[in-house]
Chain A
Amino acid sequence: MVKISIFDYGAGNIFSLKSSLQRNGAEEVSVTNDLDSDSSIDDLDGIVLPGVGNFDPAIISINKCKSGFSKFIEKNTPILGICLGMEMLFEKSEEGKLAGLDIIKGEVLSLPKKLVKIPHIGWNCLEITSKDSKLFEGVPNRSWVYFVHSYYTMPKNSDIITSKSNYGINIPASIEINNIYCTQFHPEKSSTVGEKMIKNFVKICKRSK
């Protein structure tokens, strides 16, 4: 049985994410705002950091249980960071004043204000740059996925980027490092191709057990 928990920083689109995980093979999906002592998170097979919110309030809520979260990172528990959930893992963001979780080296920048309308909202095309991506197993290159964001990530090590999209500039659309999977777009909102990615993440969790 695959047990996944969605971390709730008080702003995420929790329900649709939960529905999507359940539809795609996760037998037990819980929602937690405490990764230190919440009993429902014992023996978790995966964690999802959802994608709606603002940088600083989200960082404050995860910092309250930072040691618990760090333990999952040390154990190499699969983590799926969506949009803001991806951005939080970096050193810092132009959206906030607080330090990021500093798990991925690099920073989060604002989309270019003079070039494009901000936020970037809608369906954009993926250029998959890594053949070995586990999240994209069976996902065709140039698939269309749904974005809704004002900031993008700039990892120091560009080798971890697995796909990119263009919105005035090229932006990393996804990243994989160790057992951490990040998407700037929302797989849970990206129709059947997104469901495929969610299914892949659930499979990754199953294999990591």
Chain B
Amino acid sequence: MTVAKRIIPCLDVNKGRVVKGINFKELKDAGDPVKLAKQYSDEGADELIFLDITAAEEHRETMKDIVKNVASVINIPFTVGGGIKTLEDARNLLLSGADRVSINTAAVVNPELIQELMRIFGKQCIVVALDVKRTFDKKGKYMFSKDGKDYWFEIQIFGGKKATGIDAIEWAKKVETLGAGEILLTSIDTDGTENGYDIELINAICDKINIPVIASGGCGSVDDILKVYKNTQVDAALAASLFHFNKAKLKEVKKYLTENEILVRPL
């Protein structure tokens, strides 16, 4: 027996509401964060991730009150991200009820932040989020090819609005060295499309590092979750619209995965 594969509903929060976008744009309302968090916790989610999706770009603090209210009503782990720039930001979120913090833009701008966070809070507390997009011009360190076109995986920041020129595989290796405990890997190319996770990207990253990875972006069905577990070494699968828009219940997901010999926490 070993550790179970995790199913993680993700709550993207914008101005106090859960929203869901397509390719990081066109936000659609999906409900109240506290109500949804409680519901998913009760229904058998293995963890929750709450991302304040506008925090980084508008330079405002993550909504501590929502975090507090969510943490008061759930009994499963809870990771919070969005707009964390300093040790103080991270500590405030932990004090408000987060178990782990996720950093993204700030880690790219100031990689030492990962190390500083790790020294105080321990690496198991630090999730580094990577927003990744295929780039067809210029050259990355690791090149890929499909249908005669060459491309590489590039890190994007500020909610997917700014390209960085950084190769995602290089960056994943670096954040592991700096002390990240887990990588939240989002494919901007598949996010919101509901056509399945980005298997190629997930394999490219998992092959090169030895910390757990959460797959994100593209989940549209229970079968997509099975596919990502059958075809990659990923440790957790994140889904948003699948649960927010009631396309599947956590119970069904777990039943389906168990029937297909994927080890999940039984309910």
Contacts and interface: CB of A to CB of B under 8 A. Distances in A.
Given A14-B95, A122-B4, A124-B1, A194 B75 contact: yes
B10 interface: no
A195 B6 CA distance: 20
B73 to A, nearest CB: 8
B123 A57 contact: no
A144 interface: yes
Contact of A146 (B1, B76, B97, B210): B76
Interface stretch (B16-24, B27-35, B114-122, B196-204): B114-122
B9 interface: no
A12 B124 contact: no
Interface in B61-76: 68, 71-72, 75-76
Interface residues of A, number: 44
Interface in B46-103: 46, 68, 71-72, 75-78, 91, 94-100
A32 interface: no
Interface residues of B, number: 40
Contacts of B125: 11, 52-53, 148
Contacts of A113: 210
Contacts of B94: 11-15, 52
Contacts of A121: 3, 124, 181-182, 212, 235-236
Say what secondary structure dominates the interface of chain A.
Answer: mixed
A191 interface: yes
Interface string A147-163: 11110000000000000
A192 interface: yes
**Among B5, B99, B121, residue most surrounded by chain A Cβ atoms (within 10 Å):** B99
B45 to A, nearest CB: 9
Contacts of B120: 10-11, 53-54, 57
Contact of B71 (A12, A19, A53, A84): A19
A57 to B, nearest CB: 6
B262 interface: no
B132 to A, nearest CB: 20
Contacts of B75: 20, 188-192, 194-195
B2 interface: yes
B4 A119 contact: no
8 contacts: A16-B78, A16-B99, A19-B97, A122-B4, A122-B6, A122-B212, A124-B4, A167-B3
Top 7 closest A-B pairs, CB basis? A15-B97, A123-B265, A119-B124, A122-B3, A148-B124, A54-B122, A144-B265
Interface of A: 10-16, 19-20, 52-54, 57, 84, 95, 113, 116-125, 144, 146-150, 165-168, 186, 188-192, 194-195
